Amino acid sequence: MVTRRATTASTSRRRSGAPHAAAPAESAAAVLAGPDGEPYSTSRSRLGFPGEAPFTRGIQPTMYRGRFWTFRQYAGFGTAAATNRRYRYLLAHGQTGLSVAFDLPTQIGFDSDHTKSKGEVGRCGVAIADLGDMETLFRTIPLDKVTVSMTINATAPILTALLVAVAEGTGVPRAKVGGTVQNDILKEYIARGTYIYPPAPSMRLTVDLIEFATREMPQWNYLSVSGYHMREAGATAPQEVAFTIANAIAYVRAVTERGLDVDEFLPRLSFFFSSDRDFLEEIAKFRAARRLWGTVAGEVLGARSARSRSLRFHTQTAGSSLTAQQPELNVVRTTLEALAAVLGGTQSLHTNALDEALGLPTNDSARLALRTQQLLAEESGVASTVDPLGGAWAIEAMTDQIETEAQQYLDRIEAMGGALVAVEKGFQQSEIAREAYRVARAREAKEEIVVGVNAFPEGNADFSLMPTRGQPGGTAAQRITPEEEAAQVRRVARWRAQRDASRVTSALDELSRATEKGENVMPHVLTALRARATLGEIADVWRAQFGEHRPLRAF
């Protein structure tokens, strides 16, 4: 157990929900003292050196002095053709990695023309129903030069297979495809909700993908364990760290049961965190997560190599911090959150656009979000120092506090039998719900201030007068029209009409047999997609065998 340290004033106020103005005065010695009351020192706060265990100060010796983090803007909307145009626009303006957002039907295994997809096609991401959509999505984009990140979980094996098929169709072997697929199904049951099957068979599909990619795709990160969505649902910083690492432990154990050595696959496991509003706490959170994972990977999971024990992570600024009121303030929020991620040592970063509380980002707002990262990299000077805040008393105290609280959660989850059992009992869900309720009450009472929402409302717009795309009156939100959805539905119908139905049936039957026998499904998914089967048809094969998950009604 990690020794518990005194918390900082800002952390203690946030935990208790006490108003900022009424916070008790605390001396620096009380806030920043070690367990015996002595001030912190760099030797006692386990700093180490950048690029070396315990990795508190970063996973690379030179950090951004060697190379910047990846500028990876998350984008996807409407049709594959529309999203492809956005990707080419962002790449032309300096983006260095693509990050794909998929619409809800794609995430939960329904084709665009399914009755349950109506009204959701292309709304919160791009609609991908088949190989034709995926080919259009990456048209003219060199998949051996541009890395791709895909935020997809329940249907991750299908989308990964689609990417492989597209790459190989353009002459890029799967071994050269670089990027990340999220493939983190456990957090879907905890916070996000885009699951399809019950947890156990879903874990099987996750491990199938990891096993396949370990053997066939050496440049592909086949699991991005995500704390982001749990933080968005209301988790505290220690909960985000703990629940994310607990999920990672569950995945690693499941993979080793397949016979893979931890040092064979751990170097391609990555993480995904939120960067939220509390600037110093977020910096400390990233440092604590790195240190805790280094310990867990080595001492609990048996990893031997330094790369296996290095926590590599992508960061996205907090979508839940964005406000529809005075949306121009979101530029300031996002800049501070992005700076916290950089000071915390992220490996790649997405910055949210100012209009995302109103609708899909426009080209102009997406470019401004990207320029925010470029300003931090090129003008702020923070990238010139390996670990600018290393040794700062407040940061080190917060780092220790978050690590201690996260370890306590890990101990509780381990005592239950691990993350999968805890998820099935609703433990993480109830802990996050309790914190989300506390924050909502604090904001209602104005004990926690959100500028422009529960304080300083002057200048808030009349939303009934908000312009739509093409109308004058300031920055308009981008919307997906019913006509665009109808066009995608017609395209899927044409795809089905132009294929060999018997070849599709044969491939789907073979996938069903392989699934029932316990074989790795990935080669069979690839065969079905090349036979022109759709995403929904493949997902339905597994629905027939596994059933659909029904969540607990109450925790």
The rounded mean pLDDT for the chain is: 89
Q: How far is Cα of residue 443 from the mean position of the Cα atoms in its chain?
A: 26
Burial of 259 (0-12, 13-18, 19+ CB in 10 A): exposed
Predicted pLDDT at 480: 84
Q: What is the pLDDT of residues 203-234, one digit of tens each?
A: 999 999 999 999 999 999 999 999 999 999 99
Measured between alpha carbons, how far is 437 from 441 in angstroms, rounded to an integer?
6
What's the confidence (pLDDT) of residue 463? 52
pLDDT of 318: 97
**What is d(CA 292, CA 407) in angstroms, rounded to the nearest whole number?**
8
Output the pLDDT for position 427. Answer: 97
Q: How confident is the model at residue 468 (pLDDT cuts 50, 70, 90)?
A: very low
Please report the pLDDT score of residue 476 as a whole number. Answer: 63
Provide the pLDDT for residue 512: 98
Is the pLDDT reported for residue 365 higher than 50? yes
SS3 33: strand
Instruction: Report the pLDDT averaged over residues 245-272.
Output: 95
Contact 15, 404 (CB under 8 A): no
Percent of the chain having pLDDT more than 70? 88
Do the strands 97-101 and 220-221 form a parallel or antiparallel pair, or are they unpaired? unpaired
For residue 359, name the pLDDT band (cuts at 50, 70, 90). Answer: confident
The mean pLDDT value for 463-489 works out to 66
Q: Helices in 9-52 by DSSP H: which ranges?
A: 9-16, 28-32
Residue with the larger pLDDT of the pair 21 and 270 = 270
Report pLDDT digits (tens) over 380-404. 999 999 999 999 999 999 999 999 9
Alpha helices in 217-274 (DSSP H): 228-233, 237-256, 262-265
State the pLDDT at residue 7. 33
More confident residue, 126 or 360: 126
Q: What is the pLDDT of residues 406-440, one digit of tens each?
A: 999 999 999 999 999 999 999 999 999 999 999 99
Residue 26 pLDDT greater than 60, yes or no: no
Pair 349, 375: CB distance under 8 Å: no
String of DSSP letters for 132-181: HHHHHHTTT--TTTSEEEEE--TTHHHHHHHHHHHHHHTT--GGG--EEE
Instruction: Check residue 462 and give its pLDDT.
Output: 62
The pLDDT of residue 535 is 98
Could you report the per-residue pLDDT of 152-168, keeping only the tens digit for each?
Answer: 999 999 999 999 999 99
Mean pLDDT to the nearest integer, 130-147: 96
Asked whether residue 469 carries a pLDDT value surpassing 70, the answer given is no
**C-alpha 520 chain-centroid distance:** 25
Higher pLDDT, 324 or 15: 324
pLDDT digits (tens, 9 = 90+) for 90-114: 899 888 888 899 999 999 999 999 9
Percentage of residues in the chain having pLDDT higher than 90: 81
Q: What burial class does residue 518 get, using C-beta atoms within 10 Å of its C-beta: 0-12 exposed, 13-18 middle, 19+ buried?
A: exposed
Q: Where are the domains of the chain?
A: 65-444
38-93 pLDDT tens trace: 554 444 457 889 999 999 999 999 999 999 999 987 888 899 999 999 999 989 98
Per-residue pLDDT band for 29 (boundaries 50, 70, 90) equals very low
pLDDT at 474: 44
Q: What is the average per-residue pLDDT within 492-501?
A: 97
Q: Which residues of 76-109 are buried (b: 16+ CB within 10 A; e: fewer)?
A: bbbbbebbbebbeebbeeebbbbbbbbbbbbbbb
CATH 3.40.50.150 fits 65-444, yes or no: no
Please report the pLDDT score of residue 96 as a whole number.
80
Q: How many residues does the chain have?
A: 555
Once rounded to an integer, what is the mean pLDDT over residues 465-493?
72
pLDDT of 35: 47
